[in-house]
């Protein structure tokens, strides 16, 4: 009985202990975080180097430039000769090494009723072509024909005769390089050139250009003495402002 009573007491004691509230559990300690001290400020030299090494922002895209030749084509589609001449003149000024465009510019000025500008461009084309490649020299005849027509319309008799004579003389020179040279045609053209240049000299005896070309025509007819006299007279005259470098050469070199 004693043993049974002892067991009951022990059971009661243990049960009472289990009914007591457990003591509060202490919260876990927060983990230790290593705090990194702040970096020391960069010296000004490093800041400057960093700014230099950074790539510059891209430049804003420029709008595409209008192509003068495309503008010429658009003007020609609507028969705007003056507008086309304005755009082509911009191209010619930027590309002086392409004289055939100058020849086209002169034609546009003619179509746009600007004969003075056309005349200037034809004269400049002749000067460029005389010292240019042989492939463009045949177009010099075209330029003289156009200048003759301009002179006709403006009542410039001297200009008409001069450019007719020079154009015919150049046609004869072209025949010299032809494999099937037409002797009869050359003789006829040479006679007409000689007559036109002689008449032009009578109108302006003080013009050295007409005397130089007249001397060339006389040389071709075999009249060397008369040709030498014309060249000598040309050297005694002041060079004309319209003379090209090729036309001045006989005066300077005594050819």
User: What are the residue ranges spanned by the domains of the chain?
Assistant: 156-253
Return d(Cα 65, Cα 79) in angstroms, integer. 23
Which whole number is the average pLDDT over 214-243? 88
Return d(Cα 234, Cα 41) in angstroms, integer. 87
Return d(Cα 9, Cα 5) in angstroms, integer. 6
* Span 144-161, pLDDT tens digits: 999 999 999 999 999 999
* Span 28-86, pLDDT tens digits: 555 554 545 555 555 554 544 544 455 555 555 554 457 888 899 999 899 889 999 99
Q: Which helix (H) or strand (E) holds 145?
A: helix 139-154
| Dihedral sign, Cα of residue 161, residue 189, residue 127, residue 233 | negative
- CB within 8 A of 169, min separation 6: which ones? 189, 190, 193, 197, 213, 216, 217, 220
- Identify the CATH number of the domain defined by range 156-253: 1.25.40.10
């Amino acid at each position: 009985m004693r043993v049974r009573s002892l067991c009951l007491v022990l059971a009661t004691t243990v049960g009472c202990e289990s009914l007591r509230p457990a003591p509060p559990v202490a919260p876990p300690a927060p983990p230790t975080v290593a705090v990194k001290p702040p970096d020391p400020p960069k010296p000004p030299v490093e800041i400057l180097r960093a700014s230099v090494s950074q790539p510059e922002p891209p430049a804003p895209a420029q709008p595409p430039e209008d192509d003068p030749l495309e503008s010429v084509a658009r003007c020609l589609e609507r028969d705007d000769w003056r507008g086309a001449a304005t755009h082509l003149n911009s191209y010619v000024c930027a590309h002086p090494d392409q004289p055939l465009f100058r020849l086209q510019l002169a034609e546009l000025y003619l179509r746009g009723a600007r004969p003075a500008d056309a005349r200037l461009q034809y004269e400049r084309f002749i000067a460029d072509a005389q010292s240019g490649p042989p492939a463009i020299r045949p177009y010099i005849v075209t330029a003289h024909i156009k200048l003759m027509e301009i002179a006709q319309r403006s009542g410039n008799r001297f200009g008409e005769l001069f450019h007719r004579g020079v154009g015919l003389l150049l046609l004869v020179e072209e025949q010299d390089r032809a494999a099937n040279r037409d002797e009869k045609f050359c003789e006829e053209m040479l006679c007409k050139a000689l007559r036109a240049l002689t008449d032009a000299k009578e109108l302006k005896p003080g013009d050295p250009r007409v005397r130089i070309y007249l001397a060339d025509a006389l040389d071709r007819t075999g009249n060397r003495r008369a040709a030498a006299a014309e060249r000598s007279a040309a050297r005694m005259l002041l060079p004309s402002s319209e003379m090209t470098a090729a036309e001045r050469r006989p005066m300077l070199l005594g050819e």
